[in-house]
Amino acid sequence: MSSPADPVAFSLLGLEIRWYAIFILAGIAAAVGLVRWLARARGMDPGFPIDAAPWVVVAGIVGARAYYLALRWEIYAANPMQALNIRLGGLTIHGALAFGVVALVICCRRAGYRCFAWSDLVIAGVALAQGIGRWGNWANQEAFGTPTDLPWGVAIDPERRPDRYLSATHFHPTFLYESIFDIAHAILLAWLVVQMPRKRSLREGDVLWTYFVLYGIARFLIERNRTDSLYIGPLPAAYWISFALVGIGCLMLVLRRTVGPGRLADPVAPRADT
């Protein structure tokens, strides 16, 4: 498996269009399409994802970059303007999730929709967007793992290899592993969304909490093989976030069935006042 010789896909009016940006935008478009399809399947407003998408996407990008900068600010201290340059990468899903959730809550409140009802649909789209967007890491030769001789190992240019692995040529494509998981995850979550009105065991928000648990576990396992992890203290930052995601997801799945029973999914468009 080889990476593209040039991370720039083409130039348009003097502006370099990079593969990284193309994959990110493709993921966003696919996510919006999936959420609209799920909305129609559930009898919900298919126009709401179009209205909310710009706010959620912008907030997600800001959060993704802010989280990365908070952990890697020493790189940009001498040249702060480069902190705004996201074309070379430097976006984190954990920051995007945090800011994106806040934006979605605001959009739901303003439109009069129940947040948990829409979060289930949106998180399925998020998983799909992750699966597609991860290929931007392939284009940038980043987010790869340790050296490997397996036939699907990805070739990495010498200047992109970690110092301790300069003699190695092929590495585990951890971005591919996560992409495969994310797409399978999106299929499962979408299926749960469609099944919710017919499954009395499911509550609004269950798809979101299921995402937290499954993605937290998968990211923890994949992160163990990464060579470019961001750290908080002695452990990779993704470890801490994964622990939190699994803990919150499991706790909410229990609480929504005990202390504060969650609402059963409606077969029609859910509003905050119904």
In three-state secondary structure terms, 46 is coil
Chain position carrying tokens 């994802």: 49
Mean pLDDT of 128-143: 93
What average pLDDT does range 65-94 have in this prediction?
Answer: 73
For range 128-146, the mean pLDDT: 93
Q: Is the pLDDT of residue 267 over 50?
A: yes
100's enclosing H/E stretch is helix 93-111
Kindly state the average pLDDT of the residues 136-149. Answer: 92
* DSSP assigned state of 268: S
pLDDT of residue 249: 97
Q: Three-class SS of residue 63? A: helix
> pLDDT (tens digit, 9 = 90+) per residue, 8-54?
888 877 788 888 889 999 999 999 999 999 999 999 999 999 999 99
pLDDT in tens, 208-238: 999 999 999 999 999 999 998 888 889 999 9
**What pLDDT does 259 receive?**
81
pTM over 0.85: yes
CA distance 114 to 235: 37
In the predicted structure, residue 271 carries a pLDDT above the cut 60: no
What per-residue confidence (pLDDT) applies to 228? 86
The predicted pLDDT at position 266 comes to 65
State the pLDDT at residue 84. Answer: 67
Could you give the percent of the chain with pLDDT greater than 70? 89
Average pLDDT of the residues in 160-178: 94
187 in Cβ contact with 125 (< 8 Å): no
Give CA separation, 156 vs 164, 232, 257, in Å: 14, 27, 48
R_g of the chain computed on alpha carbons: 20
Identify the residue whose tokens are 């397996």: 150
Which pLDDT score, from 0 to 100, does residue 81 have? Answer: 65
Decide if pLDDT at 149 tops 70: yes
pLDDT score of 270:
47
Average confidence (pLDDT) over 180-204 = 93
**pLDDT of 83 over the 70 cut:** no
Amino acid 219: pLDDT? 95
